[in-house]
Amino acid sequence: MSPRTERTHDAWRAALDELEALVTEADASLPAGDGDPTALPTPARRWTPPVGLGPLPQELATRASSLAERQRDVLGRLEAARVAVLQHLGAVRTVEASHEPSRPVYLDATG
């Protein structure tokens, strides 16, 4: 393998390592199947794609494909958690709104 090819492979391996670490963090931040669906995950670090990676080496295609599938799975579970939180928030707002009086309860007669 030429030095340039080796550098390309190393850069792609490093990028995939970083993406795998991020998806692992996101996965770990989600509640377990029997956990509280409204528990907010910790904010994920943002990923910035490296510049100048070039095309994905064929030798890493299976790894990249598996990682993309794992990302889709975690993203789906994050979306489900987000929807659950929004539903709970809607229920809380409905309860809060039902306690608001429709007219003033007190009248300031002293001025």
Amino acid at 58: Q
24 located within any domain: yes
Q: Which pLDDT score is estimated for 57?
A: 94
With 70 as the cut, is the pLDDT of residue 49 above it? yes
Under 8 Å between Cβ of 52 and 97: no
79 located within any domain: yes
Under 8 Å between Cβ of 18 and 47: yes
The reported pTM is 0.69
Range of the domain at 92: 3-31+57-97
Tens of pLDDT, residue by residue over 52-100, are: 888 999 999 999 999 999 999 999 998 988 898 899 888 888 876 666 6
46 located within any domain: no
41 located within any domain: no
93 located within any domain: yes
47 located within any domain: no
Tens of pLDDT, residue by residue over 16-35, are: 999 999 999 888 888 776 55
> Could you give the number of structural domains in the chain?
1
61 located within any domain: yes
27 located within any domain: yes
